[in-house]
Homo-oligomer: A and B are copies of this chain.
Amino acid sequence: MKKPDLNIAMAQLNVKVGDLAGNQRLILDAIQEARNEHIDVLVFTELAVCGYPPEDLLFHQQFLDDCYNCVKQIADHTDGLVVILGFPRNHPNEPELLHNSAALIQDGEIKMIYDKQKLPNYLVFDEKRYFTSGSHDGIAELTINKQTYSIGVTICEDIWYEAEPVVYQAQQGVDLLINISASPYAAGKIESRIAMLQRRAKRFSTPLIYCNLVGGQDELIFDGTSCAIDAAGELKALAPSFDAAFTTINFSQPQTQITEPNSPLAELYDAVVSCTRDYFQKNGFTKAVLGLSGGIDSALTAVIAADAIGAENVTGVLMPSKYSSDHSVTDAQILADTLGLPSHVVPIKPMHQSFHKFLEPLFNEFYDDYFHRQTDENIQARIRGVLLMAFSNNSNAILLCTSNKSETSVGYTTLYGDMAGGFAPIKDLFKLQVYALAEYRNSIDPAGPVIPLNTITKPPSAELRPDQKDSDSLPEYEVLDEILKAYLHQHKDAAQIAKALNQDIELVIKVLKMIDRNEYKRQQAAPGPRVTQMAFGKDRRMPITNGFKHQQ
């Protein structure tokens, strides 16, 4: 087995899409650190220069030119180092074609440019919209410390296939495989990704360096978790998840640098918090505001926000209506006090009455119709939206939307009401996951539970009419969440779902129709952390106008 005697560092940096100057500073800092630590080979991530995914910024030639200038400026700082760095580039002969590329730079000189071959165009990925596959084999012969090494470079998706270009590189007997990635997080993916990488290294009997982007970018979470695996498939270095890190490895040395993996709930919680924090930081916001209803969704959202940007920066607004129970206000106030959130109480009754006063006669007179219950429920939710957005506007705070995936799926939400907000931290969490994370977060706080027990144990209710409960309109969440997963994540049809879950087919079809019918709401929803491989947003692209009928 080959054990290259090289000091290698994996720099998983939290770069920001489009911020070329800021990213260049982070990259140059890592180069300085590499020099301090006598590193030979310094590996950055996919499209490190510009962040991932740059989306349609790639159609601006100025952006591409600026990216290339960054690479050249960074190259000027690589004396005594080998640096591998991702950037987008125009094809040298056909400039209307773009490549997703890796520059291998040594001592100030670009020695090789490898262009990604496998371009993902599924789930959230649109790489065939932008890029053309490359044809370079990605193998560079380098002299480092007077030794000659053969290194095979690939980019992200390339390594997910036991195929070209990696198979060819291995057959050529490279001493080291290096993959630079921007692989977004989903629950369970870290473990399966590392196992895949271990299979590759072992299969090819070649040590493997995998350097993965870290940080939140709109809905996407890049977990980092870069790793080094030896030729036997053994994990020799593992960087932390959800944090920028500079992780070193020398395959010829016995020492290893391995971060202990998180429990699944800790990982999920950290993912959501890190994405929320980055959305604020990268968009230049320090403050958040949200409505506290006393329910579990707003409670968990508040705790996530407090962990992301500091409790003192999160304002909670309690907006009881005439249908709010006493415990709603109490539970919400206890949460705010325990967490240390600034909070205010603004009862909505006066606004509610002023809308009613003018609308009720109109509806009665002109439409020969009563004031519908749903109209009235929505007015309450939307008055809260107006109040919260006023707090948001007046204090330059982002309004957090508290909708979870279960209610967003079936449209059990009010557009411009509780759906209002700039960011929705629990958007991709089913209701039962919301409970699980609330209990997890309560379990780890040294000062004791922050979310009141009553918030966790009482039956969920929107409290928009007397004695309302979620279960009046929806199946129990134990059933609902399973139907949602089968339909949204696994694309099962109604009959398959009814059979697999032993549920009535009419109930299943009722739920699927609710999902289909509420696509129009979801297309106006706030972004939020993606923690599955089928979040609403770029993963799931469904028509609003959709006549498909579910069969019995």
A residues in contact (CB < 8 Å) with B:
16-22, 51, 53-57, 59-63, 66, 121-122, 126, 128-129, 216-218, 278-279, 282-283, 342, 344, 346, 350-351, 353-355, 357-359, 362-363, 366-367, 369, 371-372, 374-375, 378-379, 382-383, 385-387, 389-390, 393-395, 415-416, 420, 422, 491, 493, 520, 523-527, 540-551
Choose among B57, B344, B524 the residue that contacts A366 (Cβ–Cβ < 8 A).
B344
Q: Complex: how many Å from CA A549 to CA B67?
A: 12
Contact A548 B350 (CB under 8 A): no
Copies of this protein in the assembly total: 2
Q: Complex: how many Å from CA A357 to CA B349?
A: 13
Cβ-closest chain B residue relative to A546: B18
Contact A547 B382 (CB under 8 A): no
Cβ-closest chain B residue relative to A393: B375
Choose among B283, B354, B369, B551 the residue that contacts A62 (Cβ–Cβ < 8 A).
B551
Cβ-closest chain B residue relative to A22: B547
Task: Kindly list chain B residues whose C-beta atoms are within 8 Å of the C-beta of A374.
Answer: 393
16 contacts between A and B (CB under 8 A): A17-B543, A21-B549, A22-B547, A54-B543, A60-B548, A62-B551, A121-B126, A126-B541, A216-B545, A279-B545, A358-B387, A367-B394, A372-B393, A372-B394, A374-B393, A375-B390
Task: Kindly list chain B residues whose C-beta atoms are within 8 Å of the C-beta of A22.
Answer: 547
Q: Complex: how many Å from CA A542 to CA B18?
A: 11
Task: Kindly list chain B residues whose C-beta atoms are within 8 Å of the C-beta of A128.
Answer: 121, 128
Q: Complex: how many Å from CA A17 to CA B542?
A: 10
Contact B542 A56 (CB under 8 A): yes
Task: Kindly list chain B residues whose C-beta atoms are within 8 Å of the C-beta of A371.
Answer: 394
Choose among B16, B59, B355 the residue that contacts A387 (Cβ–Cβ < 8 A).
B355
Contact B16 A547 (CB under 8 A): yes
Task: Kindly list chain B residues whose C-beta atoms are within 8 Å of the C-beta of A17.
Answer: 543, 545-548
The 9 closest A-B pairs by CB, nearest first: A19-B547, A18-B548, A62-B493, A375-B393, A416-B416, A18-B547, A375-B394, A382-B386, A18-B546
Contact B378 A389 (CB under 8 A): yes
Contact B346 A358 (CB under 8 A): yes
Distance (Å) between the CB of A115 and the closest chain B CB? 18
Distance (Å) between the CB of A309 and the closest chain B CB? 15
Q: Complex: how many Å from CA A385 to CA B415?
A: 11
Cβ-closest chain B residue relative to A55: B541
Cβ-closest chain B residue relative to A352: B354
Q: Complex: how many Å from CA A500 to CA B128?
A: 32
Known: A128-B121, A493-B61. A382 touches B372 (CB 8 A): no
Contact A547 B63 (CB under 8 A): no
Q: Complex: how many Å from CA A549 to CA B51?
A: 14
Cβ-closest chain B residue relative to A317: B362
Distance (Å) between the CB of A454 and the closest chain B CB? 27
Task: Kindly list chain B residues whose C-beta atoms are within 8 Å of the C-beta of A358.
Answer: 346, 350-351, 387
Q: Complex: how many Å from CA A394 to CA B548?
A: 27
Task: Kindly list chain B residues whose C-beta atoms are within 8 Å of the C-beta of A393.
Answer: 372, 374-375, 378
Among A59, A389, A394, A544, chain B packs the most CB atoms within 10 A around the CB of: A394
Q: Complex: how many Å from CA A56 to CA B283?
A: 31
Contact B493 A218 (CB under 8 A): no
Q: Complex: how many Å from CA A128 to CA B387?
A: 44
18 extra interface residue pairs, beta carbon distance < 8 Å, beyond A379-B386, A389-B415: A16-B545, A22-B547, A55-B543, A57-B543, A60-B491, A60-B548, A121-B129, A126-B129, A129-B541, A218-B544, A218-B545, A342-B366, A351-B358, A354-B354, A382-B385, A382-B386, A416-B420, A524-B524
Distance (Å) between the CB of A56 and the closest chain B CB? 5
Task: Kindly list chain B residues whose C-beta atoms are within 8 Å of the C-beta of A375.
Answer: 390, 393-394
Q: Complex: how many Å from CA A287 to CA B546?
A: 19
Contact A57 B390 (CB under 8 A): no
Task: Kindly list chain B residues whose C-beta atoms are within 8 Å of the C-beta of A549.
Answer: 19-21
Distance (Å) between the CB of A126 and the closest chain B CB? 7
Known: A342-B366, A355-B351. A386 touches B386 (CB 8 A): yes
Q: Complex: how many Å from CA A363 to CA B315?
A: 12
Q: Complex: how many Å from CA A527 to CA B522?
A: 12
Contact A282 B379 (CB under 8 A): no
Distance (Å) between the CB of A495 and the closest chain B CB? 8
Q: Complex: how many Å from CA A394 to CA B386?
A: 20
Contact B548 A20 (CB under 8 A): yes
Cβ-closest chain B residue relative to A540: B56
Task: Kindly list chain B residues whose C-beta atoms are within 8 Å of the C-beta of A63.
Answer: 548
Q: Complex: how many Å from CA A53 to CA B545?
A: 10
Contact B18 A543 (CB under 8 A): yes
Q: Complex: how many Å from CA A546 to CA B422?
A: 15
Task: Kindly list chain B residues whose C-beta atoms are within 8 Å of the C-beta of A54.
Answer: 543
Distance (Å) between the CB of A166 and the closest chain B CB? 22
Q: Complex: how many Å from CA A270 to CA B123?
A: 35
Task: Kindly list chain B residues whose C-beta atoms are within 8 Å of the C-beta of A493.
Answer: 60-62
Contact B367 A395 (CB under 8 A): yes
Choose among B61, B366, B369 the residue that contacts A491 (Cβ–Cβ < 8 A).
B61
Q: Complex: how many Å from CA A342 to CA B393?
A: 35
Task: Kindly list chain B residues whose C-beta atoms are within 8 Å of the C-beta of A354.
Answer: 350-351, 353-354
